[in-house]
Structure 1
Amino acid sequence: MTLRLKLFAGAATLLAALIGPAHAADPAVVRIGVAQQGTGDPPVFGGSPAATALLQHRVEDALQPDHIKVDWIFFKGAGPAVNEALANKQLDFAYQGDLPSVLGRANGLKTHLLLASNVRTGVYLAVPPDSDIKSVKDLKGKRVGLFRGTNLQLVADNVLKQNGLTERDLRVINLDTAASQAALASKGVDAVFLDYSLFKLQRQGLAKIVYASRDDGVQLTRQAHLLVLEDFERAHPDTVQKVVTAVVQAAQWSSDEANRNALFALWAKSGVPVESWSSEYANQPMKDRMSPLIDPFLVARYQAVADDALRLNLIRQPVSVNGWFEPKYLDQALKSLKLEAYWPRLDASGKPTGERLAENR
């Protein structure tokens, strides 16, 4: 019997070694950081599949059978504040933009990008209604509000570059979203680079939008995503899969043109009016903006952001995106939901490839 027990124990040890370490027990709570200030109680936000997932409680519903609580944590300090929380292991997942995540990677944050969440988003240049500023070229020497460290900054810098300017040619004032709106409305600045929040100010007669970067092509847009800390992913891959699948479901619902009006009404709970969402997404298929795909366009844009950040001295060493994206959870979600061919894949230049996702894995 002793020999048999020893043989059994040896076999069990060998089997454990072959299959690898067991996954950790389910976490009691999943913490998802959001790189913007939420509105309401509990706070919510809009403008992305991740926002839809929150508003429709999709992640909570997916994790409820495992008795896992979900905490959505909002950061007024946007992407830089999210990076600090990730560095301190205060978050498991995060929704943020391309530049902040690149800065985090440059500073040693160990994360994996899981899926896109609101892509090809432009920036707007707005001025007071009575301003004589007509174009980007007129900004030289002007006081311009810009939220540094966010994915707004890099697009704005590239817009300036196309017009023969840099931030040094302007009197740039670092202002968050709320402060930028207030400064513009009170004429405390001559102009601001900002997002869809400017449409409300324009309707109120407090601002005039004179430029939209998206009009100059998809290379002057910013991307956002959902990422996970590598340590959490390694310990809880099943939970990561459920979170990703829930957000992909939200992306599909948000992409359906039949849901456009309902989607904008849902996002309006964030305090941004339906009219602003309608203006932001006017004349654009929702599939183009709500796609979760990790396609050549997304990968190329993140590498371009990393290269631009180095050129502009925002980071000190080159950053490669190789190995940063982890598409297996997205691929599994698309397969299980039969959505492999739902969203168009784009090549690095932003043109549809006409290829199915499943054929490229």
Structure 2
Amino acid sequence: MRSKRKSFMNWKTLMSVVMITAMVVIAACGNSEGKSSGDKVVRIGYQKYASVNILKERGGLAEKLADLKYKVEWIEFPGGPQLLEALNVGSIDFGHTGEAPPIFAQAAGAPLVYLAHSNESPKAESILVPKDSNIQSAKDLVGKKVALNKGSNVHYLLVKYLESEGVNYSDIEVVFLPPADARAAFESGNVDAWVIWEPFYSAAQLATEARVLVDGEGLVKNYEIYLASRDFAKAHDEVIKVILDQIDEVDQWAQNNQAEVAKLLSPALGIDEPSLVQALSHRSWGVIPISDDTIAAQQSIADTFFDLKLIPEAINVSEATLK
């Protein structure tokens, strides 16, 4: 009983830290387009690099939403867990994350609903080790420090990689760090491996000549999932449709103009164009409606995290849909 209580308290402490971080980000990073008193506003949470970020930089959504008499407010987050904590406390209406963050958020009681997802991009996340590291397999990670952003998609990649190689999750020392801190720890040798997603993956690999121990191919699907708060999705389906249609449209453009996308994003992200060109080559494009198969895949992730005591209780993912 004592170990369960300790695990639950650690989880609650983590969620408190995430909430505080999210609120700081919200206060610092909010940006609205043409917002004035009395306007109806949709607040979109986004992360660096993904399709929503491309849409923000390229433009076009504000004009489409204007037809519905809506403005758009963009709020940047360092990762999916922080973004969904903001959704949980009512600070954003719509956002995007990988597969894992909604599991943690639903377990925390966030009123989220799944809307759609991207095509699979398993090569867009990886486990990096220093170029001169002796680590060649999952077994070499036993007793080593592995950095990752807790609750992010790469958390599941690590779990599946260890599982595929017959290594227990408890046999390694997982160090929870956001991307910027994790890269500093990786470059200084304070951690032995780093599980990370694009574009941080390509930026670090090209700058440090880090070696890819494994990427997600054959291990995870790595969807980008689009979500909204339940109340907003139920009351503003026409706004949701416009946003998803615009993401799909910008994806079709980006797929055929990747060098231009890299040039567009580079100043906004502070990442060089060659790193972004490589990152973009690792991902897929398009918007796909949520299906029963997607929910079943999410349920498998949720069950895995519960078995590992990474979430405090079992959840039913289908409850986070509009059905």
Task: Tell me which interval the TM-score lies in, with the shorter structure as reference length.
Answer: 0.7 to 0.9
1-structure distance, mates of 2:137, 2:276: 24
- 1:73 shift after superposition: 0.9
Tell me which residue corresponds to 1:260.
Answer: 258
The answer to whether the 8 Å contact 1:303/1:320 transfers is yes
- 1:272 shift after superposition: 2.8
Tell me which residue corresponds to 1:251.
Answer: 251
Distance 1:323 1:171, change over 3 A: closer
- 1:124 shift after superposition: 1.5
| Equivalent in 310, 313, 317 of residue 317 of structure 1 | 313
Distance 1:212 1:275, change over 3 A: farther
| One-letter identity of the residue aligned with 1:150 | S
Pairs within 5 Å for 1:1-361: 28-34=40-46, 36=47, 45-46=48-49, 48-76=50-78, 78-117=79-118, 119-122=120-123, 123-196=125-198, 197-204=200-207, 206-215=208-217, 217=218, 219-255=219-255, 257=256, 259-269=257-267, 270-282=269-281, 289-294=284-289, 298-322=294-318, 324-325=320-321
Distance 1:131 1:273, change over 3 A: same
Distance 1:277 1:135, change over 3 A: farther
2-structure distance, mates of 1:118, 1:268: 24
- SS of the residue corresponding to residue 322 of structure 1 reads helix
Distance 1:203 1:120, change over 3 A: closer
The answer to whether the 8 Å contact 2:128/2:214 transfers is no
| One-letter identity of the residue aligned with 1:69 | K
- 1:140 shift after superposition: 1.0
- 1:325 shift after superposition: 4.3
Judging by fraction of residues, say which structure has more strand.
Answer: 2
- 1:245 shift after superposition: 1.8
- 1:177 shift after superposition: 0.4
Distance 1:267 1:296, change over 3 A: farther
Superposed CA offset, 1:176-210 (max 9, x none): 10111111111121211112323333333x24223
- 1:98 shift after superposition: 1.5
| One-letter identity of the residue aligned with 1:211 | L
- SS of the residue corresponding to residue 122 of structure 2 reads coil
The answer to whether the 8 Å contact 2:129/2:211 transfers is yes
Judge which range, 301-310 or 178-187, deviates more. Answer: 301-310
| One-letter identity of the residue aligned with 2:88 | A
The runs of at least 4 aligned residues of structure 1 exceeding 6 Å deviation read none
2-structure distance, mates of 1:244, 1:91: 16
CA RMSD of aligned residues (A): 2.4
- 1:30 shift after superposition: 1.0
Aligned residues: 282
Structure 1 residue runs without a partner (length 5+): 1-25, 37-44, 328-361
- SS of the residue corresponding to residue 251 of structure 1 reads helix
The two structures have a TM-score, normalised by structure 1, of 0.71
- 1:121 shift after superposition: 3.5
What is the aligned-residue identity percentage?
A: 27
2-structure distance, mates of 1:268, 1:296: 37
| One-letter identity of the residue aligned with 2:259 | N
Distance 1:80 1:203, change over 3 A: closer
| One-letter identity of the residue aligned with 1:136 | A
1-structure distance, mates of 2:189, 2:131: 10
- 1:161 shift after superposition: 1.3
1-structure distance, mates of 2:202, 2:243: 32
Distance 1:319 1:58, change over 3 A: farther
Distance 1:107 1:202, change over 3 A: closer
Judge which range, 272-281 or 243-252, deviates more. Answer: 272-281
Structure index of larger Rg = 1
The two structures have a TM-score, normalised by structure 2, of 0.78
The answer to whether the 8 Å contact 2:157/2:216 transfers is no
Distance 1:277 1:119, change over 3 A: farther
2-structure distance, mates of 1:118, 1:50: 14
Superposed CA offset, 1:64-108 (max 9, x none): 2344221111223x2222232122111111111221112222233
- SS of the residue corresponding to residue 290 of structure 1 reads coil
Superposed CA offset, 1:113-136 (max 9, x none): 222146323432222222222233
- 1:291 shift after superposition: 2.3
